[in-house]
Structure 1
Amino acid sequence: MNKPVNALPVRLTLLFVSTLTVMAGATIAPSLPAMRQFFASVNNADFLVRLVLTAPALFIAIGAPIVGVLIDKFGRKPLLTLALAVYGIAGSSGLWLDSLGFILVGRALLGMSVAGVMVTATALIADYYVGAARGQFLGLQAAFMALGGVVFLTFGGFLADVNWRLPFLIYLVALILIPCVVFLLPEPIKNSSGDISSEETNTELPIAVIATTYIAALLSQIVFYMIPVQLPFYLKDLVNANASQSGLAIAFATFFSAVTSLLYQRIKSRFSFLSIYAIAFLNIAVGYGFISLAKSFPVVMGGLAITGLGLGLLTPNMTFCLTSITPQMARGRVLGGLTTSFFLGQFCSPLISQPLSLKVGLSATYGAGAVMMLVMSLITVIMLVRWK
């Protein structure tokens, strides 16, 4: 397996497939204000338009555990191929649908397909690589996801300035990747003695570590997704920003996220999993503090940069931690649970932040996110001290 999985076409296919997960929701974030205006006559349009952004997250959360069970039982490639086809068709449906309700149905199908893409792609990476090589590739995966976000968000912002429907075009890129998956990716051999490293011989699942990671993923995503969901409206109120400026601002955070993701394996070689969590949560807390107190666009951008540095460490750290302690036969299910935690947090984000912002304002809402991340960082530091 070493020769084919290290081949450049295999690596590029896995990386480009991974970028589809981050663009699932955030790509259309710059379109939200114009979409709200288009559907102004619809009851609860303000809430429903935000739901268009986050509805995929709920169905990713629902679908991910199912995907995890299926790929552990039947293999990775068939489900990944089907997921890419549904992704392209359902994701682009906003181009031609005039009903907000039907657009939400399309977003639900998109979410189910993203569950298939995200869980399967990450499971393939964990199957192909072990040890430091796995940590390095997971960091590279997170970096590609973030850089993909920069490209898709920036492009989506400019397209949204032309027409709010045009960013839906970007989802069609998934169809181009289907032949790459079919012809380039090898199906991993299950439980072959030659393919299992010493770190994977343990068949017991560390439930406490898995559950704690799931909770951290849920809470961090509730806070993080306030950026794509609320930032366009926050910038509109703050500096009367247009869609392209909002897209650039969100992409700015993802760019800095890519920087730390690329450096993840170097950082991991010097720090423990818990230490990296503490650093990441603290960065997000400081970044959100700047956003909350900002009176100008540059200050918001500075806060987004600091936030991005923390975000870039979280995903590879969680994934590397869980895949390092999980046997191959249960890897799909454990990664499915992690994916559910991530996207359940994204779905819950507007359900929590929108009522809060209506009551205290968006500035104070970002401040509340900063406090939550600071508390999580302090809890992690306490755990570090106690376990030394």
Structure 2
Amino acid sequence: MNCAPFKPSKWTLLFLMLAAMMILMGGAAVAPALPLISAAFPDATDTSISLIVTLPALAIAITGIFLGILSDRIGKIKVLAVSVTIFTIAGSSGYYLTTIPAILVGRFILGIGIAGIICTTSALIICYYDGISRARVLGYQAAAMGVGVLILETAGGLLAGISWNAAFLIYLLGIVILAGVLLTMREPAPLKYEAGTPDPGKKTAAHETFPVHPLLLAYSTLFMGNLLFFLMPTKFPYLIAGMEAAQTMGGNTAFTAGLFLGIGGCASAVLGIFYGRIAWRFHRYTILTTTLLAFGLGLCILGFATSLLMVGVAVILVGVGEGLLMPTILTWIAAITPQQFIGRAMGGFSVSLNIGQFASALAVVPVITLVASYGNMFLVFGCIALVLAVPYLVALIKEKYYPAPTAQDIVTAAARK
């Protein structure tokens, strides 16, 4: 049931999608510039340079739950507007800051803004839309995230070709998004009726509680999926920088890396556009099994890649995995969470999403030490993704061939006794 009388327009949808572009890669928009930043600050460690991309994720993980609760209490539009403002100012601060510690402080504050954007945009979609429209718009949101990868990574690569700090100017896009939020969106009204109840006179059930345990599986799946996906913006540019084949496209390997990350974003966007149809035809476990297989195959191909064609196939597969992962988790959360708790649930979504991003940088350190090359590192994580697909495949088989008995089945069996 729609929890707000406000009827979202096409302009509302457009600016929700523009805000959604920042959810996945808002912290990684400058990823193509990382090798150039390393060269500009030779005394900085690889870990500290990687934090430029991953530190916003830590900030989101710390503040996401609180911002989700805050959006339920004071209003989602207020939190969204302030968050976009923070995003714009803190994101672009890297353009004029001249030391790694100062840049990292700005990146942490950027993460707070992104946390608010994640919580509120996803919650507003769930409040503004329902049924098949909701699944379709959540698919559009995933598509917008993919387009965000294309725009942010490609533009970041182009700007990095000018100078390493010019890449931070991409965050000025937040000015346009802020104007759209203020002009086209309204606060959803407080939920007055029980979700899914056909009788509008029936009030919200007092016994509804926040579904902690059912959400944990969804959150943990998102955590692992994003840990795998975020190997791309943090380590893929280094893989490309070391490939002889990448030199055929010119000396600007930052642009080459950004271009291929953008191709993966396009694949994610295409899946998002058609996700509404996918969600209604396939079981959740089928989609998640496919997601992890796509991640695994894509990362393994990167491990063996010796040509740009192989790289292209790999990034498309990883993009397909991400395009399926995000809307599947969001529809899962929407299906099991009472709408009066949706802001809080989206806070948990933002936390698990970004702990996965931050943990990605930490998980790489021991692996790269052991395997000694970026290609082997991608191969190791590809194998991990393939292993993670097995439990969902088992669950799918169990669901298909050994379904749980329905209430009618139980009644019939009792009658026979």
User: Hey, what does 1:357 align to over in structure 2?
Assistant: 368
Q: Is the 8 A contact 2:8 2:185 kept in 1?
A: no
**Equivalent residue runs for 1:240-319 within 5 Å:** 241=247, 242-319=253-330
Q: Say if 1:65 and 1:337, in contact at 8 Å, map to a contact too.
A: yes
CA contact (8 A) 2:291 2:320 kept: yes
Counterpart for residue 113 of structure 2: 113
Alignment of 1:1-40 (within 5 A): 4-40=6-42
In structure 1, what is the Cα distance between the partners aligned to 2:116 and 2:8?
A: 23
* 1:221 partnered with 2:223: no
Shift of 1:354: 2.8
Deviation at 1:192, TM superposition (A): 2.8
Identity %: 30
Matches within 5 A, 1:1-388: 4-42=6-44, 44=45, 46-193=46-193, 196-198=195-197, 203-239=208-244, 241=247, 242-360=253-371, 361-387=373-399, 388=403
2:412 corresponds to: none
List runs of 5+ in structure 2 lacking aligned partners: 199-203, 248-252, 404-417
- Separation in structure 1 between the aligned mates of residue 278 and residue 109 of structure 2, nearest angstrom: 37
Single out whichever of 6-15 and 224-233 deviates more from structure 2: 6-15
Deviates more, 1:98-107 or 1:351-360: 351-360
8 A Cα contact 1:92 1:172, kept in partner: yes
Deviation at 1:308, TM superposition (A): 1.1
Cα offset, 1:41, TM superposition: 2.7
Q: Give distance in 2, aligned partners of 1:356 and 1:40.
A: 23
Distance 1:249 1:119 in 2: 29
Distance in 2 separating the partners of 1:275 and 1:75: 36
State the alpha-carbon separation in 2 of the partners of residues 10 and 66 from structure 1: 25
Q: For residues 282-332 of structure 1, give each alpha carbon's deviation from its aligned partner in whole angstroms, at most 9, with x where no partner exists.
A: 111111111111112221111111121121000000001101211111111
Instruction: Check whether the contact 2:154–2:258 (CA below 8 A) recurs between aligned residues.
Output: yes
TM-score by length of 1: 0.95
- CA offset at residue 368 of structure 1? 1.5
1:158-203: CA deviation from partner (whole Å, max 9, x where unpaired): 111111111111101112222321232011011133x943399682
| Aligned amino acid, residue 226 of structure 1 | L
Q: CA deviation at 1:383?
A: 1.3
| CA distances 1:256-300 after superposition (whole Å, capped 9, x unpaired) | 011111111111111111111011111111111111111122211
CA contact (8 A) 2:83 2:114 kept: yes
Question: For the residues of structure 2 that align with 1:373 and 1:365, how far apart are their CA atoms?
Answer: 13
Which range moves more in the overlay, 180-189 or 88-97? Answer: 180-189
Distance in 2 of aligned mates of 1:328 and 1:320: 13
Q: Deviations over 1:101-155 (max 9, x none)?
A: 0000000000001000111011000011111111100000110111122012111
Cα distance in 2 between the residues matched to 1:233 and 1:106? 24
Give yes or no for contact 1:130–1:197 (8 Å, CA) kept in 2.
Answer: no
Cα distance, 1:4 vs. partner?
A: 4.6
Preserved contact between residue 289 and residue 392 of structure 2 (Cα < 8 Å)? yes
**2:5/2:189 contact within 8 Å kept:** no
Q: Whose Rg is larger?
A: 2
For residue 221 of structure 1, report the CA deviation from its aligned partner.
Answer: 1.1
Q: Contact 1:131 / 1:324 at 8 angstroms: preserved in 2?
A: no
Whole-angstrom CA distance in 1 between matches of 2:62 and 2:93:
21
- Quick check: 1:4–1:186 contact (8 Å CA) kept in 2? yes
SS in 2 for 1:157: helix
